[in-house]
Amino acid sequence: MREGASRWERFTESRAFLPCAGFAAGLAAGGAAALYRLSLSGASALLSRAIAFVSGNAWAAAGGFAALAVLAVLVSLLLRAEPLIGGSGIPQVELELAGKLETRWARVLACKFLGGFLCLLGGLSLGREGSSIQLGAMAGKGVSRALRRSGEDERTLLSCGASAGLAAAFHAPAAGVLFCLEEVHHTFTPRLLLPLMTAVFSADLVSIAVFGPSPVFQFAPEAALTAPQYLLILPLGVLMGVCGAIYNAATMGAVRLLQDGKLPRTARLGLAFLAAGVLVLTAPQLLGSGHELVEEAAAGDYAVGMLLLLLAGKFLFSLLSFGSGAPGGIFFPLLVLGALIGGAYGQCAVSALGLDPSLAALFLLLGMAGNFAAIVRAPFTGAILLFEMTGSLSCLLPLLAVSLAATATAELLRSAPIYDSLAARMERK
């Protein structure tokens, strides 16, 4: 302590300051993420009404395509005003924490919020979690500036906001902490852990106050695997590792093809919104992040053939949506893809081996965790995230097993983690 320092200065230099500041950052980030989640729920409801309105009405369909063109122009203007809102936002947070990027936190927060809302209103296959992480990080930076912090303290509060954003988006506080340690920092320090924990605690309180304590998914597989049935996890983990490597290569290829070519930004976005308009008339279940699609697949509403068709459609639409550079993440869409693969695998296993039909939903959940682990390369985060999103304690060990198998497979295939690849590309540009 410096002699003659004020009471506030002594507090900021004490060990209690960062946990308290982390709590404040969590409240701010949790509030931003909760408000964003509410706005996207409203966007989804409006989209559902629009789909019902244009169904079977040629003039209404024409008006719908015109509205989508307007959305593409608006999103393009937002990206011109603030280019750092493009994509998921996680690479931007990672680069800023590494000292390679400086953002205008209020501008990014406002533009990302509005841009993400417009993209989900238009039905693009993007997730809320990457945006929630970036919004949370910017809220954490705002708290840092309000407290007149800089340097290491500001980076800590930025991390707190990012973790809190994920925690509030999915009602998953433990996954919020793990994601920051495993994916963003790639390290663990006691100085960072306590502020992160207070941040996700306060953010989760906000989430519970707004959305209640229920988990994100309303299905929770209760059927437990027997010891011999655990052998089925290894092939699924290998499959998810291969699929994850393909997804990473395809995503980076789509980003390079669409964003490094001569196609103007508005035209790229226009293609994505045009595809959404076509899907409104042909396959509306592929629109948006895909939450309802997961619930329907878990309930057994689709046979294997339909699951594979939906997988192909969702995969291609997700590539176009993200490759266009629109504000929004790949986090939830990749979970949906994993659910479709795992669901098809589970139905085949149940049919071929005469297993309990309720195990199909468990394999669907395992597919989500495996795909996340293979693509993001954060196996513990993936396992804990899916555990928190369903609240099923009996699934935790299988989730860890499939995540580790998928991660090992992706590593053997030398597939780079998606957010590392995106961050490296952004740094070069």
DSSP, residue by residue, 253-277: HHHHHHHSSS--HHHHHHHHHHHHH
Residues 6 or more apart whose CB falls under 8 angstroms from that of 307 comprise: 297, 340, 343, 344, 347
**Rounded to whole angstroms, how far apart are CA atoms 258 and 264?**
9
Q: Which pLDDT band, with edges at 50, 70 and 90, does 219 fall under?
A: confident
Exposure pattern of 238-275 as b/e (b: 16+ CB <10 Å)?
bbbbbbbbebbeebbebbeebbeeeeebbebbbbbbeb
**Rounded to whole angstroms, how far apart are CA atoms 370 and 378?**
10
Q: Give the pLDDT score at 273.
A: 96
Residue whose token pair is 């597989």: 221
Summarize pLDDT for 82-121 with one digit per residue, the tens: 999 998 899 999 999 988 989 999 999 999 999 999 999 9
Q: Which of 120, 389, 342 is nearest to 237 (CA)?
A: 342
Q: Give the pLDDT score at 243.
A: 96
The phi and psi torsions of 362 (rounded to 5 degrees) equal -65, -45
Q: Which pLDDT band, with edges at 50, 70 and 90, does 4 fall under?
A: low
Q: pTM for the full model?
A: 0.92
Q: Give the pLDDT score at 3.
A: 55
Summarize pLDDT for 123-173 with one digit per residue, the tens: 999 988 889 999 999 999 999 999 888 888 899 999 999 999 999 988 899
Q: Give the pLDDT score at 17.
A: 86
Domains, the chain: 13-211 (1.10.3080.10), 228-428 (1.10.3080.10)
Whether 294 and 338 have beta carbons less than 8 Å apart is answered as no
**Rounded to whole angstroms, how far apart are CA atoms 235 and 245?**
15
Percent of the chain with pLDDT over 90: 67
Instruction: Indicate the average pLDDT of the chain.
Output: 90
Summarize pLDDT for 338-366 with one digit per residue, the tens: 999 999 999 999 999 888 888 888 999 99
How far is residue 404 CA from its own chain's centroid? 20
Whether 233 and 200 have beta carbons less than 8 Å apart is answered as no
Whether 380 and 182 have beta carbons less than 8 Å apart is answered as yes
Summarize pLDDT for 231-281 with one digit per residue, the tens: 999 999 999 999 999 999 999 999 999 988 788 999 999 999 999 999 998
Lowest mean pLDDT among 31-45, 87-101, 214-228, 301-315: 214-228
Strand partners, 87: 327
DSSP conformational letter for 417: P
Summarize pLDDT for 394-418 with one digit per residue, the tens: 788 999 999 999 999 999 999 999 9
Whether 285 and 89 have beta carbons less than 8 Å apart is answered as no
How far is residue 315 CA from its own chain's centroid? 15
**Rounded to whole angstroms, how far apart are CA atoms 165 and 145?**
18
Q: Give the pLDDT score at 2.
A: 53
Q: Give the pLDDT score at 198.
A: 95
Taking residues 209-235, what's their average pLDDT?
85
| 5 pLDDT above the threshold of 70 | no
| Length of the chain (residues) | 429
